[in-house]
Amino acid sequence: MVTPVRKRRKFPATALTWAAVTPFAAWAVVRVAGLERGSLPTQLMTATPYAAAGSLIPLLIAAVGRRRAATAVALLSATALGFSVLPRALGTAEATAGRPFKVMTINMLFGRADIATIMKLVREFQPDVLSTQELTPGAVADLDAAGLKEIMPYRVLQDEWSAGGSGLYSRHPAQALWDVMPPVGHQMPAATISLPGGKAIEFIDAHPFPPLGPQVGDWNAALAAFPSASADRIRIIAGDFNASLDHAAMRGLLSRGYKDAADQVGAGLIPTWPANKRVPPLITIDHVLVDQRVGVREVSVRDVPGTDHRAVLAELTVP
């Protein structure tokens, strides 16, 4: 009696390989083509740096299993995600001549951010402009009582007893601009800053709504509403964008004449939220965007007790 030789079934292993490869391939397509739609996909897109790292796992599985088609797809996915993310860690300081200009931005979490830490950073870093989000009337009073009124006497404030308040503080004369941003998102004050040694610059305090549930429409509208860069003026936009560089809406804003300061100097992958939690900061949603003519010397991120955002400090040069 001859026992028939059973052929090895390859389907389960192949299926498992494709099950590992497909999600990362889909993520790569969505990220590169900017196809995220709706609240949940938009929120998930902030995890693209982690997806880029994770995409090496299915590549290894497919390669070890010698499944050529899956390996090719996994390699393309990992490459696409890698090229989307890695440049943010590879930038270098720009040796652009111009007037030194320092920016600090901090989301104060309903005004609860530690005032002493903020003032310590202000005194050490000496920003020309401090951009604040979730600024409450109580925080305004506490900052002034701690000495900010003497250090940065010029301000354009739209403080509120909610997450909607924002405010710009400046060492130099500041003139409010009330027609720059439409009423979409939180308060986003703008001002011209009379920086010595040349023309004034325009500064916008950014704080769109987070893309949660139906607010994703307002989030998209706010990012689209920021003015494009202009040859007539130098413009800087800084704050809590509730967006990462992996969002199509954020990349659309950058394509209109801006660059992300942290991205330029290799600090674009330093996470800024959520800070001071049991979990470490995971995503980068606080940014300083600058006109293409503005040079970037250094960007750093600092912890501030009492708030779930880290402060972003940028050293720039303005033509």
Domain ranges of the chain: 11-89, 99-318
What is the structure's pLDDT at 188? 98
What is the structure's pLDDT at 221? 97
What is the structure's pLDDT at 4? 59
Q: Does domain 99-318 have CATH number 3.60.10.10?
A: yes
* Structural contact between residues 170 and 154, judged by C-beta atoms closer than 8 angstroms: yes
What is the structure's pLDDT at 1? 57
245-260 tens-digit pLDDT: 999 999 999 999 999 9
What is the structure's pLDDT at 164? 96
pLDDT below 70 — which residues of the chain? 1-11, 95
* Structural contact between residues 286 and 272, judged by C-beta atoms closer than 8 angstroms: yes
Q: How far, in whole angstroms, is CA 268 from its chain's centroid?
A: 8
Confidence (pTM):
0.93
207-244 tens-digit pLDDT: 999 999 999 999 999 999 999 999 999 999 999 999 99
Q: What's the token pair of residue 203? A: 């500064």
What is the structure's pLDDT at 148? 98
202 φ, ψ to 5°?
-100, 135
